[in-house]
Amino acid sequence: MGSAAPRSALLLLLLLLRAERLRGSELTFELPDNAKQCFHEEVEQGVKFSLDYQVITGGHYDVDCYVEDPLGNIIYKETKKQYDSFTYQAEVKGVYQFCFSNEFSTFSHKTVYFDFQVGDEPPILPDMGNKVTALTQMESACVTIHEALKTVIDSQTHYRLREAQDRARAEDLNSRVSYWSVGETIALFVVSFSQVLLLKSFFTEKRPVNRAVRS
């Protein structure tokens, strides 16, 4: 009886470790100006996939995005979006292509994050509905913990992106303030020097030139 609790805890840990995430990819990449970057993923027919993306740094934080099916049809297209989500159920089997374009920008370098997921997440306990055992309460707690961990992961990703975006904006604002301060300092020295010269010209005594008049 004393070893039942450790075995239950060990089983819970194994179930959490065996919980598989749905197939997909998560990436943050650099997108130069006048450039386009495409990614490819093979999807089976009838399988659902989703795409979430967000521009972290650069310009007005916008990017063009489109998704193309294996037949070359555009199933999703948005222009100059800061962030967006797209979900689609594949009608044909093959390689789907999703691209991010910064071709409309001539000098703004962008940093883009995307999360591409394929398929539905498998249940953590496939036989939980058909099993009636002494571990039913433990299995229920396992599912609850798993869902909570998923929420934590999503929240961490969201706040990480927000932190990166806010840091980039703060650094950009700091550089602009620094340049403005340098410009104001130079302008102040120029104006001060000009005023000194002007005041000096006011107090400079002009001596008249006497000319000898011959009679």
Q: Could you report the per-residue pLDDT of 32-41, keeping only the tens digit for each?
A: 989 999 999 9
Pick from 120, 155, 170: which residue ends a domain? 120
Pick from 81, 99, 120: which residue ends a domain? 120
Kindly tell me if the per-residue pLDDT of 15 is higher than 60. Answer: no
φ, ψ at 5 (rounded to 5°): -65, -50
Kindly tell me if the per-residue pLDDT of 202 is higher than 80. Answer: no
How far is 55 from 131, CA to CA, in rounded Å? 46
- Strand 110-118: give its sheet, edge to edge: 23-31, 110-118, 48-57, 83-89
pLDDT at residue 24 in the model: 66
Task: Kindly report, residue by residue over 146-188, the tens digit of the pLDDT.
Answer: 778 878 877 887 788 788 778 878 888 888 899 999 999 999 9
Per-residue pLDDT, averaged over 91-103, amounts to 93
Q: Are residues 87 and 140 in the same domain?
A: no
Give the list of residues 6+ apart from residue 157 with CB closer than 8 angstroms, or none: 26, 115
Pick from 91, 120, 149: which residue ends a domain? 120
Q: Which domain holds residue 67?
A: 23-120
Task: Kindly report, residue by residue over 114-142, the tens digit of the pLDDT.
Answer: 999 898 766 666 665 555 554 567 767 77
Average pLDDT taken over every residue of the chain: 80
How far is 163 from 150, CA to CA, in rounded Å? 20
pLDDT at residue 20 in the model: 47
Q: Are residues 179 and 193 in the same domain?
A: yes
pLDDT band at 13 (very low <50, low <70, confident <90, very high): low
